[in-house]
């Protein structure tokens, strides 16, 4: 598990964007979604990236998650220049360094909770017995030790999102990247999921939360506001 830096030690930079630009081309029309973003996130931070629809936050999430590439500028993930990684190395980085939580839970409806959680390890060629053990431990961590054999349709929305969080954590990634994780939840379930994020952060997990909701964003310890493809404010920055 990620741990806070030792007293007196400089925190490790896990995400670093420098002059990040992303342009989408449709015929003769070019749209610049990111316009020179500079951003550093260190190990153990809880950062919310907030902005309205069309602000560039979703593009930024795709870049941070290695789901898209920059047009220009650099992105270093754990000190590695993402642009220099081949396809297999990039896939490994996504699978091992980043745990994804999405607004849509993306659970397979025919599989039990623990089998949904084990999926990243199947792709990582982890042995069956170890997959089961780690999946059960991840579900216990998010408070679902008694729901191992329940399928998604037998779980509430909040419980389904907890299964998704367990799946994101099971590979012990450096970063938990959550895209509008409460967007499909009622207010009670949303509070439960955000409380879980608070607990994970307190345990040393690095969390990057993408949201349009100011109330959700301000659960984080640092809020980066994006508008028109640029960072317009960065509050609560770690020392």
Domain boundaries, the chain: 13-235
| Residue 125: per-residue pLDDT | 78
User: How many CA atoms does the CB half-sphere of 47 hold within 13 Å?
Assistant: 26
Least confident of 49-53, 82-86, 107-111, 175-179: 82-86
Rounded distance, CA 228 to CA 205, Å? 30
Rounded distance, CA 100 to CA 174, Å? 11
**Whether the Cβ atoms of residue 183 and residue 161 lie closer than 8 Å to each other:** no
Q: Is pLDDT above 50 for 1?
A: no
Rounded distance, CA 31 to CA 21, Å? 11
**3-class state of residue 170 by DSSP:** coil
Rounded distance, CA 66 to CA 91, Å? 8
Q: Write the pLDDT tens digit of every residue in 166-202.
A: 999 999 998 999 999 998 899 999 999 999 999 999 9
Whose structure tokens read 């029309």? 29
Confidence of residue 239 (pLDDT cuts 50, 70, 90): very low
Q: Is pLDDT above 50 for 2?
A: no
**3-class state of residue 28 by DSSP:** coil
Q: Write the pLDDT tens digit of every residue in 5-59.
A: 555 667 899 999 999 999 998 888 999 999 999 999 999 999 999 999 889 999 9
| Residue 220: per-residue pLDDT | 95
Rounded distance, CA 222 to CA 46, Å? 6
**Whether the Cβ atoms of residue 239 and residue 5 lie closer than 8 Å to each other:** no
**Whether the Cβ atoms of residue 4 and residue 204 lie closer than 8 Å to each other:** yes
Any idea which fold 13-235 has? Rossmann fold (3.40.50)
Whose structure tokens read 């994101």? 168
**Whether the Cβ atoms of residue 91 and residue 155 lie closer than 8 Å to each other:** no
């Amino acid at each position: 598990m990620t741990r806070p830096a030792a007293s007196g030690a400089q925190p490790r930079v896990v995400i670093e964007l420098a002059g990040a630009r992303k342009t989408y081309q449709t015929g003769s029309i070019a749209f610049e979604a990111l316009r020179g973003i500079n951003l550093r996130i260190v190990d153990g931070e809880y950062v919310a990236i907030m902005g309205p629809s069309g602000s560039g936050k979703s593009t930024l999430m795709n870049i941070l998650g290695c789901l898209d590439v920059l047009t220009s500028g650099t992105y270093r993930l754990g000190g590695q220049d993402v642009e220099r990684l081949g396809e297999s190395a990039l896939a490994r980085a996504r699978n091992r360094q980043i745990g994804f939580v999405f607004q849509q839970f993306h659970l397979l409806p025919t599989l039990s909770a623990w089998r949904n959680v084990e999926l990243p390890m199947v792709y990582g060629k982890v042995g069956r017995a170890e997959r089961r053990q780690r999946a059960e431990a991840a579900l216990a961590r998010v408070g679902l030790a008694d729901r191992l054999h329940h399928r998604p349709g037998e779980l509430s929305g909040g419980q389904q999102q907890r299964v998704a969080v367990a799946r994101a954590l099971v590979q012990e990634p450096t970063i938990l990247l959550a895209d509008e994780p409460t967007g499909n939840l009622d207010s009670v379930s949303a509070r439960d999921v955000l409380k879980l994020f608070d607990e994970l952060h307190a345990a040393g997990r690095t969390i990057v939360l993408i949201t349009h909701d100011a109330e959700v964003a301000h659960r984080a310890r640092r809020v980066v506001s994006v508008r028109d493809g640029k960072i317009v404010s960065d509050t609560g920055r770690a020392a």
